[in-house]
Amino acid sequence: MTWSTADIPDLTGRRALVTGATSGLGYETALELLRHGAEVLIGARDPEKAAKVSQALADASGRQPTVVELDLADLASVEQAAGKLTATYDALDLLVNNAGVMATPYLQTKDGFELQIGTNHLGHFALTGRLLPLLVQAPAARVVTVSSFMHTTVRGIAQADFRRPASGYSKWDAYGKSKLANVLFMLELERRARAAGVKLLSAGAHPGYASTHLQTNGPELAGQRFMANVMRIGNTLFAQSAAIGAWPSLYAATSPDLPPGSYVGPSFLGFRGKPALARPTRTARDPDLAQRLWQWSIEATGVDPALTVPR
């Protein structure tokens, strides 16, 4: 595949929401969507930082994004943000579930869930569910959920993982399970959209090894300055840029010929390079596990995503 951002079609008239757009992959994704004519909303937890990023995106693209205050680790914030969006807009063409945390010390969301599964999966599950009324009003809506090759490191997920205790906590196991949940959710959303006859395409992406703040965030939260510096050096020596790391997300978000349920990653061993179709693990493709995860997520968030054809 010889794809680059020059292949992104004109997105004039399309409205997109990108979560986690104040840095890294989310910033680069929002930037390219703006450059190609989309109306872009950026979900961000810190309003002051978001305002600065919004201006930086405007300076770089010539188009001003709209800031949406959103904390995916707080289900009340998700509900409030989705409520404002549904009250303001009549349709949403694209949702990029990009925001995430990686390998954090043991922490909990405001609702008492383990931070990584709570932010990376449950926050996005609730957001997507609450925004479905806007998505189904678009003529060809698309939801892109960003996962990681780290989903391949775990063999399953259980409901107990949502509220796992601090004792015996493994930050990398928790991260892998949150990324497995992303793929399970993406594929189940696609199955349900097809069964309901809804014109909504669900796809997934992963960036390979891209240099972002994600690698240093966990050590910084744990106060591990040395490890944070090691991660920075690793990013400098081995990682591809965040701009290139965003290519799979952008391909999944904009390619007109993308098959439903596609999972896109870097072409070279899944770590770097141009985007290509990738294959999730057998566990991630298990429809029974995906259905169980869907039900557990409804019980955890109180959000039951309704996929119905608009009248």
Tell me the residue range of the domain where 297 lies. Answer: 9-207+243-301
The CATH number linked to 66 is 3.40.50.720
pLDDT tens track for 145-175? 999 999 999 999 999 999 999 999 999 999 9
Q: Average the pLDDT over 226-242 and give the result.
A: 51
Beta-bridge partners for 163: none
Cβ-based neighbours of 287, under 8 Å, separated by 6 or more: 187, 188, 191
How would you class 271 by CB atoms within 10 Å of its CB: exposed for 0-12, middle for 13-18, buried for 19 or more?
middle
Structure tokens at 20: 């986690």
pLDDT value at position 210? 60
pLDDT value at position 2? 84
Between CA 125 and CA 253 the distance in angstroms is 18
For residue 291, pLDDT over 80 is answered with: yes
- Determine which one of 27, 178, 179, 251 is catalytic: 179
Between CA 72 and CA 11 the distance in angstroms is 27
Between CA 116 and CA 177 the distance in angstroms is 9
For residue 221, pLDDT over 60 is answered with: no
Alpha-helical segments (H) within the chain: 24-35, 47-61, 75-88, 115-117, 124-135, 171-196, 214-221, 225-238, 242-245, 247-254, 287-301
Percent over 90 (pLDDT), the chain = 84
Run of H or E including 192: helix 171-196
Q: Average the pLDDT over 247-261 and give the result.
A: 97
**Does residue 237 fall inside a structural domain?**
no
Q: What is the identity of the amino acid at 2?
A: T
Between CA 12 and CA 78 the distance in angstroms is 27
pLDDT tens track for 293-306? 999 999 999 999 98
- Determine which one of 54, 77, 147, 297 is catalytic: 147
Sign of the dihedral defined by the CA atoms of residues 293, 294, 298, 301, in that order: positive
The chain-wide mean pLDDT, for the chain, equals 91
For residue 88, pLDDT over 70 is answered with: yes
pLDDT value at position 220? 45
Run of H or E including 280: none
For residue 103, pLDDT over 50 is answered with: yes
pLDDT value at position 234? 44
Q: Average the pLDDT over 132-147 and give the result.
A: 97
pLDDT value at position 10? 98
**DSSP string computed for 140-189:** TEEEEEE--GGGGG-----GGGGG--STT--HHHHHHHHHHHHHHHHHHH
Nearest Cα to Cα of residue 74 among 45, 103, 95: 45
For residue 276, pLDDT over 80 is answered with: yes
pLDDT value at position 308? 77
**Does residue 166 fall inside a structural domain?**
yes
pLDDT value at position 208? 84
Structure tokens at 202: 């669900």
Query: Pick the residue with more confidence: 235 or 164?
Result: 164
Structure tokens at 24: 């890294």
Start-to-end C-alpha separation, the chain: 39
pLDDT tens track for 185-204? 999 999 999 999 999 999 99
How would you class 10 by CB atoms within 10 Å of its CB: exposed for 0-12, middle for 13-18, buried for 19 or more?
exposed
Nearest Cα to Cα of residue 151 among 20, 282, 262: 282
- Determine which one of 175, 209, 251, 263 is catalytic: 175
- Is 175 annotated in the active site? yes
**Does residue 266 fall inside a structural domain?**
yes
**Does residue 215 fall inside a structural domain?**
no
**Does residue 212 fall inside a structural domain?**
no
Q: HSE of 160 in the Cβ direction (CA atoms, 13 Å)?
A: 4
pLDDT value at position 217? 56
For residue 219, pLDDT over 80 is answered with: no
**Does residue 156 fall inside a structural domain?**
yes
pLDDT value at position 307? 82
**Does residue 66 fall inside a structural domain?**
yes
For residue 226, pLDDT over 50 is answered with: no
Cβ-based neighbours of 115, under 8 Å, separated by 6 or more: 73, 101, 104, 106, 107, 108, 109
pLDDT value at position 232? 43
Instruction: Report phi then psi at 20, rounded to 5.
Output: 65, 40
Q: HSE of 170 in the Cβ direction (CA atoms, 13 Å)?
A: 8
- Is 251 annotated in the active site? no
At residue 215 the predicted structure's pLDDT band, cuts being 50, 70 and 90, is very low
pLDDT tens track for 57-84? 999 999 999 999 999 999 999 999 999 9
268 CB neighbour count, 10 Å cutoff: 12
pLDDT value at position 233? 43
Instruction: State how many domains the chain has.
Output: 1
**Does residue 214 fall inside a structural domain?**
no
**Do the beta carbons of residue 218 and residue 67 sit within 8 Å?**
no
pLDDT value at position 270? 57
Beta-bridge partners for 203: 144
Question: Considering only 39-48, 85-94, 269-278, which range has the smallest mean pLDDT?
Answer: 269-278
For residue 268, pLDDT over 60 is answered with: no
